[in-house]
Every structure is written in C-alpha cells, then in structure tokens.
Structure 1
Amino acid sequence: MPFRHFEFEGLNMQWKALAVVSTMLIAGCSTSHIKPYSSADVAKAEGEENRLWHSADRYEKQLKNSSRVYGNETLQVYLQGIMDKLYPEFKGNIRVYVLKQPVLNAFALPNGGVYVNTGLIAAMENEAQLAAVLAHEGIHYINRHSMKQREVRKMTSAFATATMLAGFPLLGSVGLASTVTGYSRDLEREADDEGYIRLVEAGYDPSQSTVAFEALAREARASEVKRPMFFSTHPAMEERIEHFQKLQEKDDKVRGKDIHADRYQSHVEHLRKEVLKNKLETGRYSEIIATFEAPSQEALYDETDQYILAEAFRMRDKVDDKGKAIALYKELMTFDENYAPPYKAMGLLSYKEKDFSQAKVFLKKYLELEPESTDGPFIKQYLEML
C-alpha cells in the first residue's frame, strides 16, 4: 500500500492513458500459476523470484546502513508482535521495521521485510488501526504480489510503448514503471480483503480498518502537494473505505473487540511528538492543523503539543491564522506560566507588528525562563534593537 505523492500539473490525460493501457496489460496476463505461500516452511524463493529477493536484501542492507531506520528497539519489538499475531505461521519470515519519514507510507518487500513510516504510525489512533495496515502489507508478501507484478511487467516492450504514448518515455523500463504505478488495482483489493480476514482472526475490531483509512484520507487531503494520488490503478481511497464498510456489514456477527488504544499510545507517544516537530520543520503546516482538527486525534496530544499547532498556524500565515496562533500561545501561558516557547513566539510576533514594548516584555520573560537557550544570543540582539 504505497502512499506516494506526485506533482505533475496538466498531465491528467497522460496519467489516464497510462492507467488504461496498464490495466489492459495486467488483465491480459495470467498469474494464476503463482501460488501463495502456505507457511513459513515453504516461503523460499527460487529462480527469478530469488533474484527479486536478492534485490530486496540489498535494498534492506542499504536502509539499515543509512540513518532512515527509526532506532527504537522497544517499538520495533512491539510492532513485530502485532505482525506475528496476524501471521503466526510466518513468524520470523515477515519482519517489521520503522522508517523516519513523516509521510504516510507502508510497503512490503518480496523477501518479507515490511517498512512503516513514522508518519503513518502517528496517524493511527490505536493498535487495531495499525494492525489493519500491517495485515494488508502481509498479504502482499505471502501472496507473492511482487512476483505477480513482475510477471505482468515482463511485457516490457508493450509497457514501454504504453508509457511513451502516455508521455512518460523515461518510465519505459520495468523497474521505473513499477515505482510509479505500484501494485495493480486487483492486487490491492486482494490485500484489502485477505488482510481484513487476518484482522478478524486475530481478534481485532475490524471496524477500525475503516477508521484507519479515513484517517489516512483526511491527512492526504490536508497535504499541500498539488496532486496527491494513490497510484492510478489503485481503488480510490473513498472506494476502499466503502469496501471495508461492506466487509464489516457482511461479517457483523463475527467481530473482535480488541483495539488496545492505551497500549498503542504508550509505545508511540514520543514518536507522535517527533513527527509533529518533523512536519513543522519540513513545512507540512496544514497536515499538523488537520491532525488537531480531528477530535479523536487531538486527544492523543498534551497541552505542550499545542505549541506546535500554534507554530503551524503562525508559519502557514493564511487568513485568521495569526489570531489562532496568538490565542493558543496565550492558552499555553495560562496553562503553564513557566513554559518558555510561547513567550518567544509572542515576542517575535509583537516585534513584527511593531509593538516593541510588548515584544520587550515577552522576550525578556523568555530569556528569564531559558537563560541557557541556544537562541539566546539571537533574542538578545532583538532586545538591543528595542
């Protein structure tokens, strides 16, 4: 279930052309001879699939040698436990790792490596919601979707022609085309359906699958990327939400109750704060604001996290944003008069508005509370100009 964003303005017809021709090629290529793994004992690659696994092994090695892997062993053990609960017969074969990325993404490699971004983990409200995502990714592995996709893409010359006609000559190679189009619509639906069964069998409340995708859709809409899209061959997000709702109606009598919200929060609380800060640093202001606008999400953060929200309003600087930021800063000062950050923010805002007397009061208070702050010299320069 890759969540990737592209900014190709004015290329709607080209994307549609690529989607149509790709779908025709996939429909015309049977992969019924590629059977799912039945247990961990037979989850071994041979021939061409073995080459896929080796490529995945090399990619995993690169990831682990980079700074992208989130190095929290306790969290990794916890997430691995969820996956093992969903796929007990594949324990040791499906391995879960976390990547330090604020964007919504999760993907499964053909060798059983499953990677989940910190941004997606933070967007989930409880264990059952993340389990829905992990269940989906696990199906991509055990049903050998990478191999099935490779078989379809063997029609390289036809696919290259399709991409060139659609206006994407650089995507003519099988590998590059796969990074854009991802799994086919049918394979994504298969992962949704069979992942849902795993979720139910593990005792989780399956209604959380719908809530999970609603949360992902909400944040995707808030993204400031001009053309957010889940690959053109994937079911639209709204369609997937409706599909999960229908699955729940069908299995209403067989429903688990496990959500484990408190347990999940205890493991990801610090991560949530890190993701908020990362989004602020990378200019994802609307995503931060959308998070706090959802009541169920807002409850997952404490009062001091409201400072990040205030900063998002201040930096986004749309109509009424400044007033909202100021109101939040004042609330924070009332909540804890010794919490320094809002004094600095109010001081800088007052300075910008040429209210120098107020700026002086706020900035002096900030230095009083944080005399050893790294930005102390910078603040002192402001005070010298007042």
Structure 2
Amino acid sequence: MLNSLTRLGLAAGLAVSLAACASTDHGVRSAGDRPMDLSSTEASLWYQTDEAESRLQASGQLNSDPALNAWVNARICEVAGTFCDDLRLYILESPTFNASMAPNGMAIVNTGLLLRAETTDELAFVLGHEFVHFEENHFLERHAAMRNANVTSTVLGSVIGVAGGGGLSSFGSLLAYGGALSFSRSQETEADTKGLIHATEAGYSADAGAAIWSNLLDELTASDHDEVTRRGNDGGAFGTHPDIDVRIASLTAQAADLPVHDGDRAAYRRIIRPFLQDWLDMHIVRRDHGATLALVDRLAGQGEDLGVLQYARGRIYAMRADDALALAEFEAATRHADAPADAWRAIGEMRRAQGDNPAAAAAFQAYLDHSPQARDRYLIERLITDLTGTQP
C-alpha cells in the first residue's frame, strides 16, 4: 500500500481541486478523450491525477516484472477494447483487494487482487468493473455530487487516518478511505452489471463476478477483526457499496442469461506462481490470521503449490502461538518439491526451542542444503556447531 506520505501527497493535491468542482454531468467518454477546456474541473483533476501518477511511478512499490505486467495489461485491453491505449497499468505491491482506473488513464491493480482471483475470468470481471467507472466518468460525476465546503478536510482526514486500505474500495477509496469520494451505490451496481458484460464479451465466464465476491465475503467473514467482518456483511464503512450478498445475488441472476464456462484455474495459477510466496508474506504480516487462513485454505483447495501454502499456514499458526499445528504444517510443507527453504529453518527453530538438538541440527542443515546462498549461512553454521559440537 502507498505509505502515509505518499497517500497524503495524493490527497492533498486532489483535495485542492475537489473543493472547486463545478461540473454536474460528464456523460460517457470516447476513446482518446482529453479535457479541452484547460480551466475546467476535469482538466484540473487530470492534472492532479497526472501528478499522483508521477508520485506512484517513483514510489518504489510497483511490481516491475515484464511478463506479469504484459499479461495483466493484455487482460485490460481485452475488456477496454478501443480504450486500451488510454490506460496505463501499474501493479501495486499491496495485499489489499483493490483495482482502479483514474480519469487520466492511470490503472492500478493491487497484487492482493491478483492473489485472490482464482481464474482469469474473475480478474477480467474486476477489470471490467473498474473500466465502467472510467468509461462512464463516475469519478468526475462523484466529485460534482459530493462538492461542498467540507470536502477538502474530509479527504485529508480520511487519508491520514487510514493505515491499510479497504477490502471493497476503488480509486475513490485510495484517496479517501470509505469517505466522501466513494462511488455511489448506483454507480457500483452499474459497474458490476456493465463490467460483467464487458468481461463476457471478451470471452470470459459470466459466473466469475459472483464467484470472486463470494470468495471475498468468506474471507471477510473469517476475519479476526470484528470491524472487517461487519464491513463484509453489512457494508460498514463502505456504505456506498451494495451489500456483498446483494451483489452476489444480482450477478448470479445476470449470469443466467450470459455465457458460462469452467475457468482454467491451473492456467491462472501458473501466471501468479512466481509471486505466490511473496504476496502471501505481505498478507500474513497484516496479522489478520482468520482471514489469511481462509485465503490459504481456499488456494490450497486446488491441490497445487502445497509446499508454499502449507509453509504459509505454518507461519500463521506460529504467529498465533499454536506451535504444534505450526510444526505439523512446516513438516508437511517439506514433503513437497516447492517447499521454501525457510520451512526447514522454521522446523530447526522450533525443534531447538523444544530442546531436540539432533532434530534441530538436521533441519538447519537441510535449510542450508536448500538455500546454499542463504544470507544467514554463517549464523546457521554456528548454530549447528553449538547443537552438535561438530562442523556442519
């Protein structure tokens, strides 16, 4: 997620222009549209979002993998059609479920979204949803609707106060968490409905919209934090968003009249596999163990990447001080070819704490065998020496 100073910079610049918003109806944009009247509210907002984009580029929080960026950008172009050249993708290394398309074409996709999607169909639905906000000028219309004397302080107060981002928000929430700039319920419903059509016209399955919201609801419901659960179940701070169960029902009904087919989960997993452990690590450190366990369990349900996923589950149990469960998961992880070397290190630490020096030394040695260039190699070798009395 953008750090506090970056968020404040984004908000401060935008808040100045928001206080002066005067337009009321921006209609539907056409491909290649740019503000013609440089004194207009729209031109001011474009300038401010251009400035925000420059800060984002320099934030050091973007995923720069060429293959991943090219692949996600291609999916954006599939749902955006002739607007493809108007949009510029940025993959933000953030564990939150979020994507956005700003009025100037800055398209942000969080790695937290890429982690949670199970198929390309689900990702395409979210991208289609965000594209509708862009195409229909929802952001500009919302600014006009919310224009009042308090908008500047509302934006700044909301952004300064937010620490980690929200589960259901879009670009408005990046700038003002759950606050005055969130899209209206009618805009969100329109984005769901038309976004699903964009996705299906691009060849994706119509049941993906309901599927990704259903999975997110399960995760929010499993959260250790009552406030997060409440937001998931009744809208909470995201009062402008339809309740998730309402969205699921509406999208399910809409899908009945659209093409549905099985999504290729294995193909999607191949795309995100190189990043899976790092993205899980970002989620784990948020310390919402219930939500993260629900996510890991769902990902493990495909029967792939079990070394990485069982190691992640072990880390969560260890953070909860469930040592027996943690050790069992770490040991289970090492039985899979994709087990991270850190799984053996974790076993070594736990066996050492139990006073089982031979098992600890063996685990530490296995860690070094699986990670010959480990940065802590010297420390681990000293530990092995202390545990066994011999050189490793």
TM interval, shorter chain, is 0.7 to 0.9
Residue aligning to 2:31: 40
Residue aligning to 1:309: 313
- TM-score by length of structure 2 reads 0.76
Are residues 1:344 and 2:351 paired? no
1:217-232 superposed matches below 5 A: 217-228=217-228, 229=231, 231-232=238-239
Overall identity of the aligned pairs, in %: 24
Superposition deviation, residue 85 in structure 1: 1.5
Residue aligning to 1:183: 183
SS of residue in 2 equivalent to 1:147: helix
Separation of aligned partners in 2, 1:84 and 1:196: 15
Are residues 1:79 and 2:80 paired? no
Q: Which moved more, 1:176-185 or 1:121-130?
A: 176-185
Relative to structure 1, the CA distance from residue 287 to residue 171 in structure 2 (aligned partners, 3 Å threshold; closer, same or farther) is closer
Separation of aligned partners in 2, 1:310 and 1:329: 6
Q: Is the 8 A contact 1:291 1:298 kept in 2?
A: no
Aligned length: 345
Q: Is the 8 A contact 1:128 1:204 kept in 2?
A: yes
Q: Which moved more, 1:135-144 or 1:223-232?
A: 223-232
| RMSD, aligned CA | 3.5
Residue aligning to 2:162: none
Superposition deviation, residue 34 in structure 1: 2.5
Separation of aligned partners in 2, 1:146 and 1:356: 61
Residue aligning to 2:216: 216
Q: 2:105 aligns with which of 85, 105, 112?
A: 112
Are residues 1:70 and 2:77 paired? no
Q: Which moved more, 1:137-146 or 1:190-199?
A: 190-199
Separation of aligned partners in 2, 1:302 and 1:176: 33
Separation of aligned partners in 1, 2:54 and 2:137: 21
Q: Is the 8 A contact 2:98 2:109 kept in 1?
A: yes
Q: Which moved more, 1:128-137 or 1:274-283?
A: 274-283
Separation of aligned partners in 1, 2:340 and 2:76: 40
Superposition deviation, residue 258 in structure 1: 7.2
Relative to structure 1, the CA distance from residue 265 to residue 331 in structure 2 (aligned partners, 3 Å threshold; closer, same or farther) is closer
Letter in 1 for 2:346: A
Are residues 1:53 and 2:46 paired? yes
Letter in 1 for 2:245: E
Relative to structure 1, the CA distance from residue 288 to residue 139 in structure 2 (aligned partners, 3 Å threshold; closer, same or farther) is same
Superposition deviation, residue 31 in structure 1: 8.2
1:123-142 superposed matches below 5 A: 123-142=116-135
Separation of aligned partners in 2, 1:217 and 1:185: 18
SS of residue in 1 equivalent to 2:85: coil
Superposition deviation, residue 56 in structure 1: 0.7
SS of residue in 2 equivalent to 1:67: coil
Separation of aligned partners in 1, 2:197 and 2:339: 51
Unaligned ranges ≥5, structure 2: 2-21, 160-171, 232-236, 388-392
- Give a deviation string over 1:76-109, Cα, whole Å, max 9, x none: 2222221221121212113332101112111221
- Give a deviation string over 1:216-259, Cα, whole Å, max 9, x none: 2233334445522361221122221122112223x2xx315373
Q: Is the 8 A contact 2:88 2:107 kept in 1?
A: yes
Q: Is the 8 A contact 1:108 1:115 kept in 2?
A: yes
Separation of aligned partners in 1, 2:370 and 2:24: 67
Q: Is the 8 A contact 1:289 1:313 kept in 2?
A: no
Separation of aligned partners in 2, 1:101 and 1:363: 32
Q: Is the 8 A contact 2:300 2:306 kept in 1?
A: no
Letter in 1 for 2:183: Y
Relative to structure 1, the CA distance from residue 325 to residue 354 in structure 2 (aligned partners, 3 Å threshold; closer, same or farther) is same
Separation of aligned partners in 2, 1:308 and 1:209: 27
Q: Which moved more, 1:194-203 or 1:376-385?
A: 376-385
Q: Is the 8 A contact 1:367 1:376 kept in 2?
A: yes
Separation of aligned partners in 1, 2:339 and 2:195: 48
Residue aligning to 2:194: 194
Separation of aligned partners in 2, 1:364 and 1:278: 27
Indicate the structure whose relative CO is greater, using CA pairs within 8 Å and at least 6 residues apart. Answer: 1
Residue aligning to 2:234: none
Q: Is the 8 A contact 2:310 2:332 kept in 1?
A: no
Q: Which moved more, 1:329-338 or 1:236-245?
A: 329-338
Separation of aligned partners in 2, 1:269 and 1:137: 25
Relative to structure 1, the CA distance from residue 223 to residue 101 in structure 2 (aligned partners, 3 Å threshold; closer, same or farther) is farther
Are residues 1:238 and 2:229 paired? no
- Give a deviation string over 1:286-323, Cα, whole Å, max 9, x none: 44422232267543524344222222222222xxx322
Residue aligning to 1:122: 115
- Give a deviation string over 1:301-354, Cα, whole Å, max 9, x none: 24344222222222222xxx3222222233234446997533332222122233
- Give a deviation string over 1:267-286, Cα, whole Å, max 9, x none: 22212222013334554544
